[in-house]
Copies of this chain bind each other. A is one copy, B any other.
Amino acid sequence: MIDEMVRKPGPWLSTQKDTGIIISSRVRLARNIAGFRFPGWADEQEAICLCEDLRNALVALPAIADSDPICFDMNSLPPVDKDILKERHLISNELALKGAGSALIVARDEHVGAMINEEDHLRLQAISPGLNLKAVWEKINNVDTQLENRFEYAFSSRLGYLTACPTNVGTGLRASVMMHLSGLRLLNEIDAVIRGLDKMGFAVRGLLGEGSEANGNMFQISNQGTLGETEMQILDNLVEIVEEVAGHEQNARERLMCDQRTYLHDQVARALGVLMFARMLSSTEAIDLLSGLRLGVELAIIRGLSVMDINEIMLLTQPGHLQKMSAKILSIRERDEIRSKIVAEKLKNVHMCD
């Protein structure tokens, strides 16, 4: 299954045309089953039994069964395969570190799934390209409702859903939107925007989630609070702020096009030049340079490349994907060399527009 998956980005990402500033919307719900200890406290046998029950229930739910789901057992999954699932944002670092009794259930097109026995018994998650939070929420809410018919959730009438970490208590909802903010970065305005978001109570994270750097000018903006607001309020607030940030980014891009055209073209052209010429590329550098290309494509400065091509290059040059496709474990040095070859091959017909 992984072998099939590894050659392309998740089909959910290809269902829409070029996505622009807002890359994707994601919602996850933290849920626990009443009467069972949280994963961090349960013994292995308890985790294995509950995992089995949850898995069987999940794949049978109409909302998931229709999507031809796949199961990945953390106990039997090779490290490279775990890396691939992490690179595709399907599992967290924390789940990857687990063994027996932890699993991922995911629709074949990767748009909906559940981590079992990560920090909580269940992390239901759904994703969609573009700004689409309400639809994503409905999808995951549907899964949640169907599952609630089968299991009794740990729930307090005063606090709401109970979770292993107090930051998730209440709705258990984390909604996040991935944005590409390279215009604000080029104008050195990104830090002010992030400080503003932080003050307003939104979390800003990097491409790979909690604790990751904002590689490639990709920022995940999400709600911090899960308590004292309804799901709809959380989503409405996030949509509002995301649209505002997208407006700032759009404005930054227009200013670059009008007032700093040469600087903009220089940055895009340099990214293209290094990606085409380098003989060794780290995955961090590749992602940063691909951000320049993404901006170039979106502003029609570059021809011969689509945003979908960039998404594909970004994913396929990640360490896990690279090693899986090479069918062997590679040193960092070997990966950097192979990565540069793949990138140069994919970009061989790409040109600056002027």
Contact = CB atoms under 8 A, between A and B. Distances in A.
Q: How many copies does the complex hold?
A: 2
B274 A337 contact: no
A272 B270 CA distance: 11
Q: Which size class do A's interface residues fall under? A: 10 to 19
Nearest to A354: B279
Interface of chain A: mostly helix, strand, loop or mixed: helix
Contacts of A266: 278-280, 340
Contact of A273 (B263, B265, B277, B352): B277
A276 interface: yes
Interface string A252-267: 0000000000110110
Nearest to A281: B266
Nearest to A272: B277
A269 interface: yes
Nearest to A269: B277
B274 A278 contact: no
6 contacts: A262-B280, A265-B279, A270-B274, A270-B277, A272-B277, A273-B273
Interface string A266-307: 100110111011111000000000000000000000000000
A263 B277 contact: no
A265 B340 CA distance: 12
Contacts of A263: 279-280
Contacts of A274: 270, 273-274, 277
A273 B280 contact: no
A265 B281 CA distance: 12
Contacts of A272: 277
Contacts of A277: 269-270, 272-274, 352
A284 to B, nearest CB: 16
Nearest to A344: B269
Nearest to A279: B266
Nearest to A273: B277
Interface in A123-149: none
Interface string A318-354: 0000000000000001000100100000000000100
B279 A269 contact: yes
A277 B271 CA distance: 9
